[in-house]
Chains A and B, each alone.
Chain A
């Protein structure tokens, strides 16, 4: 299957530790998105890449959060000095981009990484 892959699926970490998540998008999708979802809420946008360029960051993305997509393929999301409030599901999505119908294309989501900060 060539869907969006996220690793790990689950992560438990102690408060103050750093964590890194990986997302492998569908190949040839040049757009990649990170979202965060807490229980009972819809996903919240964090950041967006077009190829390797990070084009938009939400105000939710504090300076403890950093995302990269170094070669325009996989992406990593790092959280430094984790806090209990960072506990959430972190979702990655990818979509093809550009063209006349650029906002009429679907996004494909991964299964997410569930982070628990204890």
Chain B
């Protein structure tokens, strides 16, 4: 399973944008980049995914580097409810393989 590298933790302020980085230098051509987040005492929740092009949805944006070896999840205006562990996952097979993720803290 291809591996991703994320910072263990990040901190931001409420109503400011947040950029969560992910490195995946061993990504293969057919791997999709998925992001999930997990709020305290909840199961993981899908955020966004992409293959090559940048993607936007109501929750976030995903910026994918041209060589696909890194990506960035962008929360445009963080709220306290965005405090969670964010997982960057490469999906090229049936299962999602989670790493340690980035614990995001939002300061009021």
For B, the interface residue count at a CB cutoff of 8 angstroms equals 24
Instruction: Looking at the assembled complex, report how far the CB atom of A102 sits from the nearest CB atom of chain B, in whole angstroms.
Output: 9
Pick from A33, A44, A106: contact of B49, CB below 8 A: A106
- Contacts across chains A and B counted by CB atoms under 8 Å: 53
A55 and B45 CA atoms in complex are apart in Å by 24
Also in contact, A42 and B94, with CB within 8 A (given A93-B43, A104-B32, A110-B43):
no
Determine if A43 and B44 form an interchain contact, defined as CB atoms under 8 angstroms apart: yes
Pick from B34, B49, B87: contact of A42, CB below 8 A: B87
> What 1/0 mask marks residues of chain B from 32 to 51 whose CB sits below 8 Å from any chain A CB?
10100000001111100101
Most buried by A among B46, B85, B93: B46
Q: Determine if A31 is an interface residue (Cβ-Cβ < 8 Å).
A: yes
Give chain B's interface residues, CB within 8 Å of chain A: 30-32, 34, 42-46, 49, 51, 85, 87, 91-101
Also in contact, A103 and B92, with CB within 8 A (given A43-B44, A43-B98, A108-B46):
yes
